[in-house]
């Protein structure tokens, strides 16, 4: 799905892991008087292990601009984590590029390509495939809690990755201050934690932290409720003081 707005083109690719092709093409769009197209391609395994983006210009547009032309474009890629926005990944690139086209057979010309570096690839940490940005985070978890996934039963790679993303999401949620987390978020976190433990994760340490955050949130909400009550009481008291100090009406005296 593509959308063009104010010299910006947005292309949404849904359910990436279920795609049955290693190359996808957006519709052509016109920006700066040139016709462009975005190509998403995978090195292998139909986007399950890697994803790269390529911005190409239509051959007729390149011919109109003549020899020696160059352009700068800002390209951003967001990998949306449907469980937690915190774990969504956004990467931007400002690549200068020259003439880029498709061969007669429809494939991207290897010698004329301007490619955004690989922005989605998986790295294995203790049997779990995660994004490069998650590697150090996950290593720290296994260093502090080496038995965290010792009893984890699922063996399917996609299922394992999904569970690990939930775990990382829970940890990121609990790292926030109580003011940044809603009670609904914490209730949802409790449900996810139960599911993780049922799947075999050893998460007593995380459950303890969740209970601490819940207690802090309950106290915070109690304090905020009391503060609102005090503010209302102060308003009533101020109104009474003003009423006492107000000059008497003529009817009150005569």
In this predicted structure, what is the pLDDT of residue 243? 67
Tokens of 214: 């819940």
Report the range of poorest mean pLDDT among 16-30, 95-109, 173-187: 95-109
Alpha-carbon span 67 to 50, nearest angstrom: 34
Given pLDDT bands bounded at 50, 70 and 90, which one contains residue 94?
A: low
Looking at the chain, list the stretches that DSSP marks H as alpha helix, in order from N- to C-terminal side.
59-65, 135-144, 157-174, 183-198, 204-245, 250-253
Minimal CA–CA distance to 129: which of 93, 94, 96, 165?
A: 165
Give the span between the Cα atoms of 180 and 183, in whole angstroms: 10
Whole-number Å distance between alpha carbons of 77 and 89: 8
Between 110 and 13, the more confident residue is 13
For tokens 């999904």, name the residue: 162
Q: What is the pLDDT of residue 68?
A: 60
Burial class (CB in 10 A: 0-12, 13-18, 19+), 33: exposed
CA-wise closest residue to 114 among 63, 77, 70: 70
Task: State yes or no: pLDDT of 20 exceeds 70.
Answer: yes
Higher pLDDT, 180 or 121: 180
Lowest-confidence range among 49-53, 87-91, 159-163, 212-216? Answer: 87-91
Q: What is the mean pLDDT of the chain?
A: 74
| Selected residue with higher pLDDT from 110 and 182 | 182
SS3 call for 84:
coil
Task: Name, in order, each residue with C-beta under 8 angstroms of 170's C-beta and a sequence gap of 6 or more.
Answer: 189, 192, 193, 196, 206, 210
Instruction: Output the DSSP codes for 216-242.
Output: HHHHHHHHHHHHHHHHHHHHHHHHHHH
Pairwise CA distance, residues 69 & 117, whole Å: 22
What is the pLDDT confidence band of residue 6, given thresholds at 50, 70 and 90? Answer: low
Model confidence, pTM: 0.49
> What is the distance between the terminal CA atoms of the chain, rounded to a whole angstrom?
80
Q: Is the pLDDT of residue 158 over 50?
A: yes
Q: In angstroms, rounded to a whole number, what is the distance separating the alpha carbons of residues 89 and 134?
A: 10
Lowest mean pLDDT among 64-68, 139-143, 151-155: 64-68
pLDDT at 129 over 70: yes
Does 101 have pLDDT greater than 50?
Answer: no
107-123 average pLDDT score: 49
CA distance 240 to 57: 74
Q: Could you give all domains of the chain from N- to C-terminal order, each with its CATH number?
A: 2-121 (2.60.210), 124-219 (no CATH)
Q: Distance between CA 111 and CA 214 in Å, rounded?
A: 57
Tell me what pLDDT residue 36 has. Answer: 83
Confidence at residue 108, expressed as pLDDT on a 0 to 100 scale: 41
Question: 152 with 141: CB under 8 angstroms?
Answer: no
Of 36-50, 95-109, 203-217, the range with the lowest mean pLDDT is: 95-109
pLDDT digits (tens, 9 = 90+) for 188-246: 888 888 888 988 999 999 999 999 888 888 888 888 888 888 888 888 777 776 666 65
Are 79 and 131 in contact, with CB atoms under 8 Å apart?
A: yes
Strands 128-130 and 123-125: antiparallel
Specify whether the CB–CB gap between 207 and 148 falls below 8 A. Answer: no
Average pLDDT over residues 2-8: 61
pLDDT surpassing 80 at residue 142 = yes
């Amino acid at each position: 799905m593509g959308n063009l707005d104010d010299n910006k083109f947005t292309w949404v690719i849904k359910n990436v892991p279920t795609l049955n092709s290693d190359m996808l093409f957006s519709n052509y769009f016109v920006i700066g008087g040139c016709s462009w197209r975005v190509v998403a391609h995978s090195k292998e395994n139909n986007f399950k292990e890697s994803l790269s983006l390529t911005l190409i210009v239509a051959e007729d547009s390149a011919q109109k601009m003549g020899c020696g032309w160059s352009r700068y474009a800002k390209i951003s890629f967001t990998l949306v984590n449907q469980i937690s926005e915190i774990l969504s990944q956004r990467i931007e690139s400002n690549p200068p590029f020259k003439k880029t086209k498709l061969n007669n057979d429809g494939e991207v010309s290897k010698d004329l390509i301007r490619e955004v570096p690989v922005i989605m690839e998986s790295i294995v940490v203790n049997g779990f495939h995660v994004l490069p940005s998650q590697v150090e985070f996950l290593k720290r978890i296994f260093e502090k809690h080496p038995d965290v996934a010792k009893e984890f039963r699922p063996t399917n790679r996609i299922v394992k990755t999904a569970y690990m993303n939930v775990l990382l999401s829970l940890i990121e949620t609990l790292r926030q201050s109580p003011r940044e987390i809603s009670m609904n978020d914490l209730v949802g976190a409790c449900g996810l934690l139960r599911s993780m433990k049922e799947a075999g994760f050893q998460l007593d340490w995380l459950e303890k932290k969740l209970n601490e955050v819940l207690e802090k949130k309950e106290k915070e909400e109690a304090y905020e409720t009391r503060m609102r009550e005090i503010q209302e009481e102060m308003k009533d008291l101020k109104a009474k003081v003003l009423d006492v100090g107000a000059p008497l009406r003529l009817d009150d005296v005569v």
